Chains A and B, each alone.
Chain A
Amino acid sequence: MIELKTIKKRFSDKEVLKNVTLQVQKNELLSIVGPSGCGKTTMLNIISGLCSPDEGEIYIDKILVDGKKGRKKIHVNPSDRGIGYVFQNYSLFPHMRVDENISYGLKAKHLPRHEIKKKINSLLDFIALRDYAQYYPHELSGGQQQRVALARALAIDPTLLLLDEPLSALDPKTRESLRTDFKNLLETLEVTSIYVTHDLAEACTISDRIAVMGEGVVEQIGNRDEILEKPNSKFVANFLGLNVYDGKIVQAASGPAKVKIGNIEIFTTVIGKGDGEKIILTIKPEDIILSTEPLIRNPKWYGCVCNNLTGKVSDIVKMKSSAKVLVDVGFPIESELTLSSLKDLCIDKGKNVYVQFKADSLNVSQG
């Protein structure tokens, strides 16, 4: 088990980590997601011992590796923490062959030669690169290099595996296929792992739990559904790409409540809130239905309270297979449609559209 207690780190003027507290259970795979510069890599470097925290404590399997024991400052060397670290951009030693890269940590432990050989072979089998033992890193593809980096980290039988955006340097197609490979490899390992990425989809595929980081703090930690369905702050909702609004309860009720966003009133389901209370409302773009014709209630939504609004399309951003349509309904609201739906519905910039979403699609949190 890994435990970080109130970790603080400052680089000159910038406070990179502010009171980070985190626990990773034995054999759990925790993903840390967040935008660039939010302190993810610094956190890994601190856990690995490559840099020291200014304040706070780190425990690996209940052993203090960084922090204060009485008056004594503890900082266990990176190589004595039992950590395997897979760096971004592979970081394979370019002047060493694949087998030399994998055996680097084993040689430092002065293991017998036959034992090192056996371990290299089993790891090469594990990453399916048995025939590449004598190759130099630059002779391998990006995906192969990444697997060698994983094997090198695993060679020392680490207590904790740290992975810093291990797939980010790959092209999207390779990344997609390796994501599943990586998940399968990590699942068979039974090793506690922390996986840093800025790609939420990658975190959702690979990990047991996700921690969302922003500006040096862990904003939310939970399983995939908890994060995606119940973002607890504006930051997390924005990071997930949701519509986020400041609202005010106009009329609380046991059923749907009336809420005001700007001057527009909508229905939502809130529990335990009073009139006049400020709240934060979030809704996924894919939960918003658009049409150029007046919308008929979706038969599947029978019994649900629906919000029906009208507005003007202010922008359309087309992506690979979907499009984001921004509509002004008195406040900006973003809907995500497939490209074929966009074509079928004849939605264009400047057109008036009807907007519909269920009251219970809105997630409500404290304002």
Chain B
Amino acid sequence: MGRLLLPAITSIGLAMAHQFHFGHIDANWNSAAKTLELSVRLHADDLEQLLRQRHGRPLEIDRDPLAEKLACSYALETVGFDQARLRCLGMEVTTHQVTLYLEAPAAEPPQRGRFRSFSAEFPDQINTVQLLTDDRRTGPAIAFLQADQWKRLRP
């Protein structure tokens, strides 16, 4: 049996004010337009920190000209639904939250989804997806924990 080198944890939780580790998607299937409309909400501090690390430079998410492009890229990497052709329409930033807007053509409501933003960075991250049809909830939210990859969204 081979031996595994166990990784050292390098980030210990702090008592700081900005612990969050929670993301949420409203995934609305627009039956008239036949589109899947995603509002992806992530914690702004976490996303800003991640983009800084990834791109190796200082970056302020609410005023960097490239922030939207980089944030969209991250969202498209960590969010997936049946509809493969998600495109990012843009983002809104408030003091504490980033909302990314994604869209894809969708003849039917999604059956499977994936939401892994910050799952690699924070073992205690919870991401949830709320499915809607024409802006009405179709059931309870679905939770994605660290180990969850693609999940069925409907029974």
Q: Do A and B come from one complex?
A: no
